[in-house]
Amino acid sequence: MSIADHSNLRAQFPVLKREGLAYLDSAASCQKPQSVIDTMTAFYQHDYATVHRGVYRLSQDSTTQYDGVRTKIKTLINAAHDREIIFTKGATEAINLVAACYGNTFFDEGDELIVSEIEHHANFVPWQQLALEKNLILKIIPVLDDGSLDMNAYQSLLSENTALVAIQHVSNVLGTIHPIKEMIQEAHTVGAKVLVDACQSVSHIAIDVQDLDCDFLCFSSHKFYGPTGVGVLYGKDQLLEQMPPYQLGGDMIESVTLEKTTYAKHPMRFEAGTPPIAEVIGLGAACDFVSAIGLDQIAKIEENLLKEATEKLLAIPGVRLIGTAKDKTAVISFLVDDIHPHDIGTVCDTQGVAIRAGHHCSQTTMTRYGVSATARASFACYNNSQDIDALIKAIKHLQEIFG
């Protein structure tokens, strides 16, 4: 992509037209292109009606748009069937759904669950809690100093009692890309199921669930250039078929009598209540946006940004990077001298640079590296060299303030 083309891409994000803003917190939430905003606005202005309920034309048209997004997601991740795509309110709900509906149903006392020590809280706490409730054994994959998983340790943790491996595809703190295909293959050799948290990978890396052979995979719309309030759970057809419903109520019912209720087949069985219709349609527009650019092209843009930002940060005395694995996405956690990350974030904000500071919803990662928090700069396809230069300038200003 040429500089001119990249400028045109950046121009599609209205918020980036704000004077003096360098937005470097896309790992927390991506900004939204005009096409997503326009699609949702047009739906509310011209097409809004509830879905799966009305026989009138407006409702039928709304339903067609809504259901069409399921097909877009299926294509995006190469699922085998539309019915393997479940809409949730986010990745957190998707993981909790699997824990509640699959874990509670099929895991027995003494079964083992495996997670890493650098998981997002959303992919750690539900399994920790399920282990407590059902007397399961929670095993932890240790992480090497560079932020990559200790694969020898992972292999030694697997056993005939392993019921599930739940793993991030990409670390939200360190940017490390984990070898999930290899991990899935090894888990399957002992009969374990695998859930992949793809929140930090789906907008950066092409995903093929059939090639990976993962059993479950989830991601959030708002980290994929789409709106908040909606997420995706992929599950293999035969697994979803076996799982009881997550919530009870409208739209997941097959029939109700005074004596008995039966439930719809998946995916509807897991989508109780009126869904976030406009948000799902906005997610569909985000799929179109990403597809038009191409994930390969997005990866190239972000790879260049990561390289440039890493080199410029390392050139500043007193800057320490946390997470230096060879395979990374464009996420950089760092410390500056003895300055608290909250101070780093605050001073950067005065310079118009928006970065994250804190434990990034992964306190176990902070514990692993012996820190209370880090500053984090994360990039998306709309960032450029000027954003990086603004970050570098802000850090040097920070060092001047703190002497």
Q: Write the pLDDT tens digit of every residue in 51-66.
A: 998 899 999 999 999 9
pLDDT of the residue at 101: 98
CB 154 within 8 A of CB 141: yes
Q: Which residues, other chains included, contact 55 with Cβ-Cβ below 8 Å and sequence gap of 6+? A: none
Instruction: Render pLDDT for 341-388 as a digit per residue (tens, 0 to 9).
Output: 999 999 999 999 999 999 999 999 999 999 999 999 999 999 999 999
Backbone torsions φ then ψ of 383, nearest 5 degrees: -80, 165
pLDDT score, position 6: 77
**Cα separations in angstroms, 335 against 178, 306, 386, 395, 396:** 23, 17, 21, 10, 13
| Nearest C-alpha neighbor of 255 from the set 242, 241, 246, 265 | 265
pLDDT (tens digit per residue) in 206-229 = 999 999 999 999 999 999 999 999
The span from the first CA to the last CA of the chain, in angstroms, equals 41
State the Cα–Cα distance between residues 245 and 192, nearest whole angstrom: 22
Residues in a beta bridge with 357: 375
Question: Amino acid identity of 289?
Answer: F
Backbone conformation region of residue 209, classed left if phi is above 0, alpha if psi is from -120 to 50, else beta: alpha
**pLDDT of res. 1:** 47
Q: Give the pLDDT of residue 251.
A: 86
In the prediction, which pLDDT does 372 show?
96
Nearest one of 222, 301, 207, 174 to 30, comparing CA atoms:
222
Low-confidence ranges of the chain (pLDDT < 50): 1-4
Distance between CA 356 and CA 341 in Å, rounded?
A: 9
Domains of the chain: 3-30+295-401 (3.90.1150.10), 37-292 (3.40.640.10)
d(Cα 59, Cα 38) in Å, to the nearest integer?
A: 20
Q: What are phi and psi of 87, to 5 degrees?
A: -90, 130
361 is catalytic: yes
Q: Is the dihedral of CA 385, 391, 395, 401 positive or negative?
A: positive
* Residue in this structure with the two tokens 């948000």, named with its chain if needed: 279
Amino acid at 146: D
Q: Which of 70, 64, 150 is nearest to 114 (CA)?
A: 150
Tell me which H or E stretch contains 274. none
Q: Tokens in use for 245? A: 């419903």
Q: What pLDDT sits at residue 3?
A: 46
Q: Which of 101, 214, 218, 361 is catalytic?
A: 361
User: Which H or E run includes 181?
Assistant: helix 180-189
Residue 171: its pLDDT value, please? Answer: 98
